[in-house]
């Protein structure tokens, strides 16, 4: 953010490298913007102004010595579910309200090595459970395009911060759409890498077989630059996959002639907003104009079961992961009793919000002795079917294209009392996490001034292909250049 203009990472890097601005100047501009806009947007849980200036000074020293990497000195926002040494990591929960990690997540270490400047920790749905950022224990984040509407979730703070120009880019996490759905709602670019491509070490666990960290940026080029920095094998993460990381910027040629793109019919459902469907179909036509070979009749028949599968597997894993918050080792602890069991019960009663409790109960039920076979085991079998359908589709197609969400951003409070309606807003993003494949969301238009997102899905570890397709679309359209007027 400089002189009222929002910069991409590429633009900021060029200015920094040519010494037209300093990282300190750029960082101060972002911090000023945060101070000015936070009363409206409420995207940030913890503003790290002193640390940011200190990191910016170090970045300026790096640049002066000739060491100017693509992310050096560029201000970033980190979702508050990713551990940052010496800086509070709350997961937007009362349970971890005062938790300060003694170590950095691997992705934070990797960004620090690039010369990152962290301006703050972004608000989110508590423990990453939600689609609207209304489940934060602290406050609801507002969509910069319309402050009466949600920014999506759970990485709503990360998406809103980038859209509002409070940071040049952000990191989020995606368990069932938590990067892509808010990116779509806020008209930014959001990438969920393949499961195992980016280390989860230091990501506070929600559902360990689904969670993945990824970037939220202004455009596809920036997403490729961040993915370059955070990808790679990590011994600290047993699910990290040891395969080479390419330079993702090399695939951004703008040329997709002859690429095969499939449009799965199961992603155009009853109850979907007509303007969203029209915008997505217009985008697919644009791919045809760019020379891609489009098949409009792809079928992924198990897709309708993905939502049910997700709401068995994710809460089951959450109930196991969140058992560690017992008030003994760290986090909130209820002290006003001599009874150990009451202390643990009260800790969890007070520390967790209603959505987290709901999912723990769902998961505990699904894993209980009488129901494990009927629910959890069945869900895992259907998960295998969903994965196989994607595998078989990618034998024929380079990428699949779908809507990101069935509607534009909804009003704050509109779905708060109806969990099922809330869960349905992730219906197009959830299958991707179940299958563990990569997907990127890009801006694809507006309905009544509200953003519409387009999702491009690829086969495992083929991030280059979805980046290539998404980049070609952005080269031919202007949607990603439009910014909210705050």
Spatial CA neighbour of 459 closest among 383, 382, 390 = 390
Q: What is the 3-state secondary structure (H, E, C) of 427-481?
A: CCCHHHHHHCCCEEEEEEEEECCEEEEEEEECCCCCHHHHHHHHHHHHHHCCHHH
Q: CB-based burial of residue 4 (10 Å sphere; 0-12 exposed, 13-18 middle, 19+ buried)? A: exposed
Q: Let me know the angle formed at the C-alpha of 170 by 167 and 175, rounded to the nearest 5 degrees.
A: 150
The residues that bridge with 122 in the sheet, in sequence order, are 44, 79
Are 189 and 477 in contact, with CB atoms under 8 Å apart? no
199 is catalytic: no
d(CA 58, CA 446): 40
Is 154 annotated as catalytic? Answer: yes
- Nearest-angstrom CA–CA distance, 94 and 85: 19
Q: Which of 10, 132, 154, 283 is the catalytic position?
A: 154
* CB of 170 closer than 8 Å to CB of 151: no
- The helices-and-strands tally (H runs, E runs) of the chain is 15, 11
Burial 210-226 (b: 16+ CB within 10 A, else e): bbbbbbbbbbbbbbbbb
Q: How far apart are CA 420 and CA 402, in angstroms?
A: 22
Distance separating the N- and C-terminal Cα atoms of the chain = 13
| Helix (H), strand (E) at residue 120 | strand 117-122
Taking every pair of C-alpha atoms in the chain, what is the biggest distance, in angstroms? 71
Gap between the Cα atoms of 430 and 387, Å rounded: 12
Coil/strand/helix, residue 130: coil
Of these residues, 178, 231, 302, 316, which one is catalytic?
178
- CB proximity list for 441: less than 8 A, separation 6 or greater: 179, 180, 181, 183, 184, 189, 190, 191, 404, 453, 454, 455, 456
Residue 22 appears among annotated catalytic residues: no
User: Which neighbouring-strand residues pair with 442?
Assistant: 454
Whether the link from the prior residue into 154 is cis, omega within 30° of 0, is yes
Residue 59, class by beta-carbon neighbours within 10 Å (0-12 exposed, 13-18 middle, 19+ buried)? buried
Q: Return d(Cα 376, Cα 368) in angstroms, integer.
A: 9
- Residue 214 tokens read as 């990824």
Residue tagged active-site, from 42, 69, 79, 459: 79
Q: Which residues are catalytic?
A: 79, 154, 178
């Amino acid at each position: 953010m400089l002189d009222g203009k929002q910069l991409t990472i590429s633009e900021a890097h060029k200015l920094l490298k040519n010494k037209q601005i300093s990282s300190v100047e750029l960082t101060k501009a972002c911090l000023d913007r945060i101070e000015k806009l936070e009363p409206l947007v409420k995207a940030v849980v913890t503003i790290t102004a002193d640390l940011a200036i200190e990191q910016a000074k170090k970045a300026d020293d790096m640049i002066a010595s000739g060491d100017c990497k693509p992310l050096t000195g560029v201000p970033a926002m980190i979702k508050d579910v990713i551990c940052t040494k010496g800086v509070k990591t709350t997961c937007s929960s009362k349970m971890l309200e005062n938790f300060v990690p003694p170590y950095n997540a691997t992705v934070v270490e990797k960004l620090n090595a690039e010369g990152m400047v962290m301006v703050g920790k972004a608000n989110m749905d508590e423990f990453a459970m939600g689609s609207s950022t209304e489940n934060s224990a602290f406050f609801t984040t507002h969509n910069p395009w319309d402050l009466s509407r949600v920014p999506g979730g759970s990485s709503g703070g990360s998406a809103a911060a980038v859209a509002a120009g409070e940071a040049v880019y952000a990191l989020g996490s995606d368990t069932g759409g938590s990067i892509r759905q808010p990116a779509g709602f806020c008209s930014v670019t959001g990438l969920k890498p393949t499961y195992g491509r980016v280390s989860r070490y230091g990501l506070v666990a929600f559902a360990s077989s689904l969670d993945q960290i990824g970037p939220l940026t202004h455009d596809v080029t920036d997403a490729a630059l961040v993915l370059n920095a955070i990808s790679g094998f990590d011994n600290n993460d047993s699910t990290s996959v040891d395969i080479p990381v390419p330079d993702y910027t090399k695939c951004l040629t703008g040329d997709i002639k002859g690429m095969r793109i499939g449009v799965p019919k199961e992603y155009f459902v009853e109850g979907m907003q007509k303007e969203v469907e029209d915008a997505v179909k217009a985008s697919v036509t644009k791919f045809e104009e760019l020379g891609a070979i489009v098949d409009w009749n792809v079928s992924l028949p198990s897709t309708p079961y993905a939502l049910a599968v997700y709401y068995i597997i994710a809460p089951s894993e959450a109930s196991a992961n969140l058992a560690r918050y017992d008030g003994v080792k760290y986090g909130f602890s209820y002290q006003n009793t001599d009874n150990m069991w009451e202390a643990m019960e009260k800790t969890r009663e007070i520390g967790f919000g209603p959505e987290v409790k709901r999912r723990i109960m769902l998961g505990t039920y699904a894993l209980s002795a009488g129901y494990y076979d009927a629910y959890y085991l069945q869900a895992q079998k259907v998960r295998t079917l969903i994965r196989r359908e994607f595998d078989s589709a990618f034998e024929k197609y380079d990428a699949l294209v779908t809507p990101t969400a069935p509607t534009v951003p909804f009003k704050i409070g509109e779905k708060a009392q109806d969990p099922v309606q809330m869960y349905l807003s992730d219906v197009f993003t959830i299958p991707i996490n179940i299958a563990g494949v990569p997907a990127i969301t890009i801006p694809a238009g507006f309905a009544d001034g509200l953003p519409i997102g387009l999702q491009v899905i690829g086969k495992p570890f083929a991030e280059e292909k979805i980046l290539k397709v998404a980049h070609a679309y952005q080269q031919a359209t202007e949607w990603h250049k439009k910014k909210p007027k705050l």
